[in-house]
Amino acid sequence: MKNWKTYSSFLVFLSFIGLMQSCFVAKDYETPEDFTPNEKLFRTDEVQQDSTSIVDFSWREVFTDSILQEHIETALEANIDIRIALQQIAIANSFAKEGKAGYFPSLELSGGINYQNLAPNSQFGNFFNSLTQYESSVTLSWEADVWGKIRSNRRATQAEFFQSIAGHQVVKTRLIADLATAYFQLLSLDERISITEKTISTREKSLATTEALKDAGQLSAVAVKQTEAQLYTAKAILIDLKNELRIAENTLSILKGEEPQTQMRTSLQKQEVNQEMKAGVPLNLLSNRPDVLQAEAAFRNAFELTNVARTNFYPSFNLTSSVGLQSLSWSDFFSLNSVFSNVLGNFTQPLFNRRAIKTQLEVSESQQEIAALQFQQTLLTAGKEVSDALYIYEMLSEKVEVKEKEFEAYQLAFEYSEELLKNGLANYLEVLNSQENVLNTELDLVNNQQALFQSSIDLYRALGGGWR
């Protein structure tokens, strides 16, 4: 009868805990309405309501150069930043698993031997000279999640896990963009080096021609020296371009996780800008940006940790049960008379702890506000990057067309000046100026073509592409 009353008391205790489970202190997370993407973020007329965008394509569909694809695949396997991000995911996953296990009880096995040599004047010194006790027990402990503390902690670890995944996607997006940038820079440098080498060859022939004309009395020494100076100018440009080429190859090597070396590549003429860039920008494009997802996950993590800090003001309810063996003699240790059990149900209510709990809550609320502001800043930055990338892409598309016409005009002007010189209707200075304009304009055209490819990379990255 006495045992029944005891068990009844524990049943009442457990029932009380079950009823209290509905009294959650923790709040449910919802994405703030102020942090929803809208047209004002982008400052462009190219906003659509559908979800079709180049960002929905894999990087393999955007960067179709087979050699560039090989470079990207190598980098995704060997790049140091990618490998670090994967380890961060593994760490966050371990914490997430620990958070999920918060609802389960803990089970401990313990055992030991306690030997005491009693003083004669002690309480039991007249009965025992020494006392040896053998003990082994299994203890089961469980905390009731009355106020949502365990639930919030679990959600916080899940948010941290999602944050690490988004962080990996951020690194992947940046890596692909940086690698494509380095690759197109190599192609541009190859083209400019080729143009400069052809120019040097042409100017060497021009120098020989001017020297012959000087010897024939048709040109002065001034014309010869000006032609010679142009030749040296082109050679100096070639030295700078080759230096840039070496640095670009080293950059591409490091991105691939390799030692500096020569990198395979095709040519600038074989590259095409994906026409889907002109299809407009969907309104929900920021949902693809991993940095936005990462910022929201960080905010949610801070939100749930604030919930945890809030629950610390309320009592915690614990149930502990132990069962085992106790005996003063090893020979009697496994006897039924050695079996003991213990059940303890208790609650702990903080009363005064030198303001530690309140400080923790205030800090958590401030950290949550910081995470919210960082989330908002990430959205604003994302909108700016999209707006900038769209405008630059459209501007460079038009500029390349203008530069092509400018180059054609200078090329014709050079050809006309040569014809006029042969017929004695122009002086050699006009030919030199036309020749210099052709070189500068052709190099400038290649630079703008590279910039157009770069703007397409920047737009793809700004739209959140690259991590699929």
Strand partners, 318: 143, 346
Domain locations along the chain: 21-104+145-315+363-462
pTM comes to 0.79
Residue position matching structure tokens 């009395």: 217
For 312-343, b where at least 16 C-beta lie within 10 A, e where not — what string? bebebbebbbbebbbbeeeeeeeeeebeeeee
Contacts of 411 (CB under 8 A, 6+ apart): 438
- Class of domain 21-104+145-315+363-462 as given by CATH: mainly alpha
Cα separation, 307 vs 301, whole angstroms: 10
Look at residue 14 and tell me whether its pLDDT is greater than 80: no
pLDDT tens, 409-466? Answer: 998 988 888 788 777 776 777 777 888 888 889 999 999 999 999 888 888 888 877 6
Measure the CA–CA gap between 442 and 404, rounded to whole angstroms: 8
Q: How high does pLDDT run on average in the chain?
A: 83
Average pLDDT on 49-57 reads 54
In tens, the pLDDT along 220-232 reads: 888 888 889 989 9
Lowest average pLDDT, out of 38-42, 106-110, 220-224, goes to: 38-42
* Gyration radius of the chain's alpha carbons: 38
Work out whether strand 281-282 and strand 47-48 pair parallel, antiparallel, or are unpaired: parallel
pLDDT for residue 95 is more than 60: yes
- The DSSP output letter for 235 is H
Does residue 44 or residue 354 have the better pLDDT?
A: 354
CB 55 within 8 A of CB 465: yes
DSSP-derived letter for residue 275 is G
Distance CA 318, CA 145 (A): 9
pLDDT interval class at 37 (50, 70, 90):
low
Closest to 252 measured CA to CA, from 86, 87, 78, 64: 78
